[in-house]
Structure 1
Amino acid sequence: MTELLPITVRPSRDSDVEDMLAIYRHHIRRGVEEGVDDAETPEPDDLRERRKNFRARRYPHLAATVEGRVVGYAYVVLFRKRPAYRYTVKHSIYVHQDHLGRGIGRALLKELIDACAAAGFRQMIGYVDADNAASLGLHESFGFVRVAHLPGVAYRYGRWADSVMVQRSLGPGTTTPPPPLPLSR
Structure 2
Amino acid sequence: MQKDMFAVIKTGGKQYKVAANDLVRIEKIAGDKGDVVTFENVLMVGADADVTLGAPLVDGAAVAGEVVEQFRDKKVIVFKKKRRQGYRRKNGHRQELTLVRITEILTGGAKPSAKKAAAPKKAAAPKAEAAEAAQDKPAAKTAPAKKAADKAEAAPAAEKKETKAKAPAKKPAAKKAEKSADKE
TM-score by length of 1: 0.17
Q: Give the greater-gyration-radius structure (CA).
A: 2
Structure ranking higher in helix proportion: 1
Structure ranking higher in strand proportion: 2
- Asked which structure has the greater RCO (Cα within 8 Å, sep 6+), the reply is 2
TM-score by length of 2: 0.17
